[in-house]
Structure 1
């Protein structure tokens, strides 16, 4: 077993024995959301995982659909899981330029094509959000969502 595998086992054990309370997670998300008060927040309006009644993380080969709306912008995400990695295919309306996907301390810019589509693949699982610029110049960011 290498160091990464050992650390992953420790993370799983800690999460099973002493999970982070939901109140702490919500508080941390609220604190982080104030970092850029000039951005508009796009709220989660639909999640196929919640519609199916599940609170369980999607398994490999599953597809999850997320919809966000705010400040005249909508972001539809198709989340695909494979081999422990995540691929996002997004459709944006009311924005142009590029979509910046933030996950696990990493930022990836994906160009939005003329039809509103963008793709970001090979992402790690974890708290993820997407930042776009509305056609009027307003910065819009989706709520952090665990994928």
Structure 2
């Protein structure tokens, strides 16, 4: 079995980005966080119902007890921009992607924006009004 593993690694090695994303996903889950579930993803809807086939925008909705995170994901030039609307939380949103952390303020209306992100497994962490940490599931953007 080991010889097969070495042969596969030599012929088709796992890309570094995949390894980094997997390590990040497995090493950063905390038991004191509430996990926000993905409840809607425009990419999973039938083509044409929400966006045109050539549209470079994706909409994601996450919910946890008392907190919702709506994300508008825009793709341009190989990079990703996130515009988020949060209800039930305040302070800052922390966007994690490819081993990077981007902390941005949530404004008084619940909006935050992060631009210039690499594509890959991404999640958002916010703090609920009651102090509970809420984090979205890792989602490939």
What's the TM-score bracket when you normalise by the shorter of the two chains? 0.7 to 0.9
Aligned mate of 2:116, from 94, 115, 122: 122
Conserved? CA contact 1:43–1:70, under 8 Å: yes
Contact 2:24 2:99 in 1 (8 A): no
SS at match of 1:40: strand
Output the CA distance in 1 between the equivalents of 2:74 and 2:6: 22
Change (3 A) 1:8 1:109: farther
Instruction: Tell me the CA shift for residue 35 of structure 1.
Output: 3.1
Unaligned 5+ residue runs, structure 2? Answer: none
Q: TM-score if structure 1 supplies the norm length?
A: 0.74
SS of residue in 1 equivalent to 2:122: strand
Q: Number of paired residues?
A: 141
Q: CA RMSD in A?
A: 6.9
Deviation at 1:31, TM superposition (A): 7.1
Q: 1:41 to 1:22 in 2, by over 3 A?
A: farther
Q: Which sections of structure 1, spanning at least 5 residues, go unmatched? A: 1-6
Deviation track 1:66-125 (CA, whole Å, cap 9, x = no partner) reads 000002100000000000000000000000000000000000011000000000000000
Relative to structure 1, is the Cα distance of residues 13 and 75 closer, same or farther in structure 2, using a 3 angstrom cutoff? Answer: farther
| Structure 1 range deviating more: 29-38 or 93-102 | 29-38
